[in-house]
Amino acid sequence: MAIYPDRKDAMSGLFSKTAKAVGRNGLSYRLLSYILVCSTVLAMIITVLQLAWDYRKDVAVIEDSIGQIEASFLQPIAASLWNLDEEQVKVQIEGIMNLPNMQFVMVKEMLGNSEVPLLTQGVERESYDISREFNLTYQGEVVGKLFVAASLEQIYQRLIEKSVLIMVSQTIKTLVVSFCILIIIYYLVVRHLNRIANYAQKFNLDRLAIELTLEGRPLPRKKPDELDTLVATLNQMRTRLNDEFAARHQAAEQLQQERDFSATLINSANMVICCMEPDLNIASINPAAILLTGYHQQEILQHNWLDLFVSKAQRDELAATLADHGSIEDKEVIMHDQQGHELVLQWTFAPFYEGPNLKYLIGFGYDITRLKKVEREIIQLNEQLEGKVVERTRSLSDANDQLGKAYDDLKQAQQTLVESEKMASLGSLVAGVAHEINTPIGISVTASSYLQERVADFKQHIDSKQLSRSYLTEFTVNLDESMQLLQGNLRRASELIASFKQVAVDQSSEARYNFSLADNLHQVVVSLGHKLKKAQCEVDIQCDPKLSIFSFPGSFTQIYSNLILNSINHGFDNWDKPKKITIKVEQQGEELLIDYSDNGRGIPPEILPRIFDPFVTSKRGQGGSGLGTHIIYNLVVQLLRGRINCVSEPDNGAQFHIRLPIQHN
């Protein structure tokens, strides 16, 4: 059968690895030695047992042969000896010698009481392995004796040959089986143990990320054995070591960073930080102490803190305090530097324990010399300023009195201006109503003059008796038209006068009663109709006619009037686009929402945040007082207990949102 080269290479590689694995100190060597010793001992025991069995079997064969001699040869030899037939006895002796393992046969003849050797066959010796002597009896009389001796040399030789054969075969079998077992053990155990050993030998902190895997045994396995468990355990140990090492490395880096940070803080701190032994001898100190005292570091180390940083006047007191309490806190201590200058330090001690025992005292000394100097200067300055403060207080009191009087005068002037603004608004309403009334009154005067002329003409026709049916018909038609024109314009004038009267009364009084919001708003729009027509402005009113509240109608009139006049005078001034004012009034729960907006030029951004402040106007010096929106704010917030805010963008109009609580009578 042909063997492929790759299979030959695989087998040779396996044998070479196995031979390499068998070393004097290797596990394979010891396993092979134990297997060979056990196999050899077992083979020897089996061989000995086998040889003993064969020996007993061969001896039994010889004894059976001797027993066969007794049964088959005694009588014939006794008869031949009785008949003195030596040839026949000789033949019979040769027959006995042909039996296996027969060594010597001798026939003795009885002559009287003595035994005379008659015939012998074989090799005579002094002793034999197996011998036996039989009486030759013929017809009841002993005629001679037959001596038979058998040798075990052939049996021994055969047993030796057989033992050699067994030992050789057992040795070959043991070697083959041992080597096969060794190959199996190497393939299943030793090579994996070698890999684990190599992994363990190369294992270090830099190889914690490398996972241990066995050749031909991918993890995880469905049925893991002891090696899989060992590998998994080693990998778990590697993972734990990796995690613990990473954690310790991180902790060490963090600790080093904290040490560096602490050292940086201590070395760069402008306060004195010194580490002292329990007897106050200085063990270490930071550079700030060297700069402060002027001493070299070696001059400071191993010196007592009381000698360097405490004046003689305070040493006994501080020594007693430290003996009683063990530490000090925020204690002001006077010292002298190397040049003899007096310094004041504020000291605080922090104990550092090693177990239950005090190891160090950490002292923190903050230089407050300048602070103490400034404190003394401040105390001296305060003493000097006390007199000045009294004098300045008297001056400020007089100034405050003057400011209070000026403030009262300003409030009174502001109130006067507000009242003037209200009267100016009322005057504007009067002018507008007068202009509106002028048209129907003029038409009414014209109609009455025409009627007067027609009546005079009618009297002339009566006096001249020239009345005709056609004239009377024409006269009655003209009279009816004139009367209708006169009644319509007088009614219009009456409505305007009533509206003006209501608006004027509401604005000039603080009466509080139930009123219709829609009627109140319409009356204001009618009163300002002349200005709205002149400005070519459209007013869109969105209000439920049935909506009424219990409040101050005059305040609402004032709010609407000021908002509309602001839109006309500021929002639509020199505005060539469509002009529209939208007033939306609605009830939302227990609140009244008034949403007033126009589509004019808007409010300048620099004025918008101060729109409700007094005297804020975009037409200062052009007739604007700056109190219109301030009056609206006061009426909404103070009188009506509501909220108002304004939103505006340049060239996108202005919008006022008013929310008022509703009260019902």
Confidence class for position 24, pLDDT limits 50, 70, 90: very low
Enter the pTM of the model. 0.33
Q: Is 211 helix (H, G, I), strand (E, B) or coil?
A: coil
Q: Are residues 124 and 273 in the same domain?
A: no
pLDDT of 436 > 70? The answer is no
Q: Cα separations (Å) of 225 from 3, 199, 229, 230, 234?
A: 34, 19, 6, 9, 14
Highest mean pLDDT out of 106-115, 214-223, 383-392? 106-115
Q: What is the pLDDT of residues 438-485, one digit of tens each?
A: 667 777 777 777 777 778 888 887 888 777 788 778 878 877 777 777
Q: Rounded to an integer, what distance in angstroms lies between the CA atom of residue 486 and that of residue 445?
A: 8
Q: Are residues 30 and 133 in the same domain?
A: no
Q: Rounded to an integer, what distance in angstroms lies between the CA atom of residue 270 and that of residue 298?
A: 20
- Mean pLDDT, range 356-364, rounded to an integer: 86
Residue 247 domain-assigned (yes or no): no
Q: Rounded to an integer, what distance in angstroms lies between the CA atom of residue 183 and that of residue 15?
A: 8
pLDDT of 16 > 70? The answer is no
Q: What is the pLDDT of residues 171-180, one digit of tens each?
A: 888 888 878 8
Q: Are residues 132 and 180 in the same domain?
A: no
Residue 317 domain-assigned (yes or no): yes
Q: Is 641 helix (H, G, I), strand (E, B) or coil?
A: coil
Q: What angle do CA 579, 580, 583 make, to 5 degrees?
A: 155
Q: Are residues 563 and 641 in the same domain?
A: yes
Q: Which two tokens stand for residue 506?
A: 């509401």
Nearest to 519 by CA among 493, 494, 556, 488: 556
Q: Are residues 125 and 173 in the same domain?
A: no
Nearest to 367 by CA among 346, 337, 353: 346
Q: Are residues 60 and 28 in the same domain?
A: no
Confidence class for position 19, pLDDT limits 50, 70, 90: low
Q: What is the pLDDT of residues 123-164, one digit of tens each?
A: 888 888 788 888 888 888 888 888 888 877 777 788 888 888
Q: Rounded to an integer, what distance in angstroms lies between the CA atom of residue 518 and that of residue 353?
A: 87
How many domains does the chain divide into?
4
* Residue written as token pair 């060992």: 230
The predicted structure's pLDDT at residue 582:
95
Taking the CA atoms of 295, 275, 370 and 312 in sequence, report the sign of the dihedral they define: negative
Among 158-172, 474-488, 615-629, where is mean pLDDT lowest? Answer: 615-629
Residue 224 domain-assigned (yes or no): no
Range of the domain at 170: 24-52+159-199
Say which residue, 252 or 193, is predicted with more confidence.
Answer: 252
- Mean pLDDT, range 486-497, rounded to an integer: 68
Residue 480 domain-assigned (yes or no): no
Q: What is the pLDDT of residues 55-104, one digit of tens each?
A: 888 888 888 887 878 778 888 888 888 888 888 888 888 888 888 788 88
Q: What is the pLDDT of residues 293-310, one digit of tens each?
A: 777 877 788 788 888 888
What element of type H or E holds 274?
Answer: strand 272-276
Q: Are residues 194 and 316 in the same domain?
A: no
Q: Are residues 528 and 630 in the same domain?
A: yes
Residue 222 domain-assigned (yes or no): no
The predicted structure's pLDDT at residue 499:
52
Q: Are residues 35 and 69 in the same domain?
A: no
Q: What is the pLDDT of residues 531-548, one digit of tens each?
A: 888 889 999 999 999 999
Q: Rounded to an integer, what distance in angstroms lies between the CA atom of residue 525 and that of residue 561?
A: 8
37: left (phi over 0), alpha (psi -120 to 50) or beta: alpha
- Mean pLDDT, range 355-377, rounded to an integer: 85
611: left (phi over 0), alpha (psi -120 to 50) or beta: alpha
Last residue of a domain, one of 336, 368, 400: 368
Q: Are residues 270 and 190 in the same domain?
A: no
The predicted structure's pLDDT at residue 448:
77
Residue 450 domain-assigned (yes or no): no
Q: Are residues 114 and 193 in the same domain?
A: no
Q: What is the crossing angle of helices 517-527 and 553-566, to 10°? A: 40
Q: What CATH number corresponds to the domain at position 572?
A: 3.30.565.10
Residue 470 domain-assigned (yes or no): no
Q: Which residues have CB under 8 Å from 426's CB, separation 6+?
A: 504, 507, 508
Q: Are residues 104 and 38 in the same domain?
A: no
Q: Rounded to an integer, what distance in angstroms lies between the CA atom of residue 310 and that of residue 317?
A: 10
58: left (phi over 0), alpha (psi -120 to 50) or beta: alpha
